[in-house]
Structure 1
Amino acid sequence: MRQLLRVTMGILCVVAMLATGVTAAQAAVPNRWGFAVVDVTSGVPNPSHQAGSWPGGFNVTVTPGGAGQTFVRFPQIAIGGGVVHVTAISPNAYWCQAQSWGPSGVDLVVAVQCYRYGGAPVFTPYSIVFEQSTGTLPAPQAFGYVHYSGGGIATQFNSAGGVNTVAGGGGVWTVTLPGLGSSGFAGNLQVTAVDPGQPARCKVGGWAPAVGAQVVQVRCHNATSAPLNTGWTLTYQRERAITGAAIPPKNFAYTFDNTPANPGPYAPVPPPVNYNSQAGVNTVQTSGTGQRMVLFPAVGVLQDHVQATAYGPGPEFCNLLTLWATSGGTAIVRNVVCYNAGTRLDYPSLVTYTSAF
């Protein structure tokens, strides 16, 4: 039934675009996408938190690798390129990173490795999303991503048709997304480390929006707090879900907890960083030292997904304390937790939520 609903909504979306003069090619951003919460080392993970562009009747599956390593198989969406984001779900100072991804037969397989602070491998549940895009979007909607290999851009996408660039290295990079600019802070960012051989954490180090481009700093660190030259992925979204899609899903939201000392509940400003597709007002509040509860009202519909990333110039990082929930249409993220080494602290973060519907 859900698959039928997804197809029907897709058809209605195309009809609406044609009626308003927006062609399918202009709006054809996501070609393939999928998300999941991996809470097992083998088998089918949580069905309430997995969805994708595959046909009905298929499931995400997981197989174990080495210590702290799992392989996530997204069915029927084999494709090159794209980006992966991963967020650890744990009450401890753990993080997860992508190691690699690519086609395996008709499926797409992602290798994920998780660590505790200090670099010891450990399995922990995590949320994972994959997305690959082409096409353009009419402003103010915007979507772009970069997969940086550690030595250069491996793949990139820009919904304005621009060519994204990366400068720098040694743990600090400047990413320019031309044509996706805004007059002030607007949208959301997610960053994930990509490294097959060593512990790596990456984050948004800084953000300078301008009318002509979004300019973002990416910072990466090793198993402790030293800058690290490594690969990473970055995604910028504005009035689109983290999967690159919209209508469907009609239920998605994101926020930027840019004043973490505020006990709240508060609605982050400026409003364009606190977007809700159903016109709800997202709020953030303290749940304890370093713990921030995020509420996304009116958009909480299963199957759904959350990603979070830290913001700032230091080695701090963030994860999710536990699996989010939905109640009365509200998605409840309890909590985003941030760390300096193994110590929780109040720290800025960027959080994004999407339903499949």
Structure 2
Amino acid sequence: MLQLRKVLSRLLCVIALLVSGLAAMSTSAQAAVPDRWGFAYVNTYSGIPSPAHQAGSWSVGFNVSVTPGAVGQSFVRFPQIATTGGVVHVTAVAQDAYWCQAQNWGPSGLDLVAAVQCYKYGGTPVFAEYTIVFETSTGTLPVSQGFGYVHYNGASITSQFNSVAAPNSVVGGGGSWTVSLPGLGSPAPAGNVQVTAVNPSQPARCKVAGWTPAPGGQTIQVRCFNATNVPLNTGWTLTYQRERAITGAAIPPKSFAYTFDVSPGTAGPYAPTPVGINYNSQLGVNTVQSSGLGLRMVLFPRVAVAPTHVQATAYGPGPEFCNLQTLWTLSGTTVFVRNVACYSATTRVNQPSLTTYTSAF
């Protein structure tokens, strides 16, 4: 009987250790980012958009779907990831001076639905293809990496994340804001920034107007404009990434990259510097080159693993904006973004821009 008690005691200890180990693993997984994410290339206003360019944290067998709204409006349904908060980014894919903006997003049953509206310069609603990504995060990251986002509704922060658990802040208004991401600092420029306008009732465009890195954190200026070039007080989203994918994945995809075209007048191909703004997870060297006035071809080598996603944002204090001229392509292991197209009103111009790419894997 004594021997049996000893055996049972040891067995219970083993079970307790296993349970505690699993609990620790679960806690560790929950502490990583993100909670939920999804992306798509929306090439239809009704039905299932391109299967080769959508992925998310939902179970196998589900797809992103799209339903039409008013002219230029569509509702993107991300399956099985219903939640509140997070951020949405949208980039138009068009041959002309079009942009797309988020109107709102939120849970609908088990799904998350985002409303997107597209316009041409001047404010006329128009059908346009676009890329869209949603992401929400919790937890922390090593200080060598950095990830943070802000959803600002024009008056206050409604959703935010910082991978060192520091509170982000926003000051300003009337179309110009300064965003502080404390604890995500770097001694030299490093990472990538994406900004998207959020407005449910009128045309709005937003961009990165300035970016100041420091060891204590990142300081980023956001500026927004109306259907033409008038500063506009509106909502917006901002995401900062450093050595993380735009989805902020807890187990990051092996294949992602980003770059900052700081010299849009350079014919190239050239690799933007410093190296921190030109990151490639597979140690490829990203390059940018001209395809004509206001057209910049971006190459991300070694990371072409479908399904894939691209976002682009204009940089600079003026009202210029950028979109994707057409769908990117994969050739071997290289991603060809041909092209990031930038505009001043309806005229293409050479404009600094930030481009980010990720695979689901």
Q: TM over 0.5: same fold?
A: yes
Q: How many residues align?
A: 338
Once residues 248 and 195 of structure 1 are traced to their aligned partners in structure 2, the CA distance between those partners, rounded to angstroms, is 30
Once residues 174 and 50 of structure 1 are traced to their aligned partners in structure 2, the CA distance between those partners, rounded to angstroms, is 33
Alignment of 1:49 onto 2:53:
yes
Q: 1:130/1:279 Cα in 2 relative to 1: closer, same or farther (>3 Å)? A: same
Alignment of 1:300 onto 2:304:
yes
In structure 2, which of residues 280, 285, 290 is the aligned counterpart of residue 286 of structure 1? 290
Residue 139 (structure 1) shift? 1.5
Q: Which residue of 2 aligns with 1:40?
A: 44
1:247-281 Cα deviation digits (max 9, x unpaired): 44100000000010111000000000000000000
Q: Which residue of 2 aligns with 1:326?
A: 330
Residue 246 (structure 1) shift? 5.9
Residue 23 (structure 1) shift? 3.9
Q: Which residue of 2 aligns with 1:133?
A: 137
| C-alpha contact 2:305 2:359 (8 A) present in aligned 1 | yes
Q: Which residue of 2 aligns with 1:344?
A: 348
Alignment of 1:24 onto 2:49:
no
Unaligned ranges ≥5, structure 2: 1-20
Partner AA of 2:143 in structure 1 = A
Once residues 247 and 345 of structure 1 are traced to their aligned partners in structure 2, the CA distance between those partners, rounded to angstroms, is 38
Alignment of 1:68 onto 2:40:
no
Calculate the TM-score normalised by the size of structure 1. 0.93
Q: Secondary structure at the match of 2:125?
A: coil
In structure 2, which of residues 139, 163, 167 is the aligned counterpart of residue 159 of structure 1? 163
Alignment of 1:197 onto 2:201:
yes
Q: 1:254/1:211 Cα in 2 relative to 1: closer, same or farther (>3 Å)? A: same
Q: 1:248/1:177 Cα in 2 relative to 1: closer, same or farther (>3 Å)? A: closer
Alignment of 1:179 onto 2:183:
yes
Once residues 300 and 273 of structure 1 are traced to their aligned partners in structure 2, the CA distance between those partners, rounded to angstroms, is 19
1:209-234 Cα deviation digits (max 9, x unpaired): 01001000000000000000000000
| C-alpha contact 1:67 1:121 (8 A) present in aligned 2 | yes
- Correspondence 1:211-226 to 2 at 5 A: 211-226=215-230
Max Rg structure:
2
Once residues 348 and 263 of structure 1 are traced to their aligned partners in structure 2, the CA distance between those partners, rounded to angstroms, is 13
In structure 2, which of residues 136, 146, 149 is the aligned counterpart of residue 145 of structure 1? 149
Residue 245 (structure 1) shift? 1.4
Once residues 30 and 50 of structure 1 are traced to their aligned partners in structure 2, the CA distance between those partners, rounded to angstroms, is 17
| C-alpha contact 1:25 1:136 (8 A) present in aligned 2 | no
Partner AA of 1:215 in structure 2 = T
Once residues 343 and 226 of structure 1 are traced to their aligned partners in structure 2, the CA distance between those partners, rounded to angstroms, is 17
| C-alpha contact 2:34 2:250 (8 A) present in aligned 1 | no
Once residues 301 and 344 of structure 1 are traced to their aligned partners in structure 2, the CA distance between those partners, rounded to angstroms, is 31
Q: Percent identity?
A: 71
When the two chains are superposed, the root-mean-square deviation of aligned CA atoms in Å is 1.3
Q: Which residue of 2 aligns with 1:114?
A: 118
Calculate the TM-score normalised by the size of structure 2. 0.92
Once residues 140 and 255 of structure 1 are traced to their aligned partners in structure 2, the CA distance between those partners, rounded to angstroms, is 18
1:162-203 Cα deviation digits (max 9, x unpaired): 000000000000000000010010000000000000000000
Q: Which residue of 2 aligns with 1:4?
A: none
| C-alpha contact 1:240 1:246 (8 A) present in aligned 2 | no
Once residues 108 and 24 of structure 1 are traced to their aligned partners in structure 2, the CA distance between those partners, rounded to angstroms, is 22
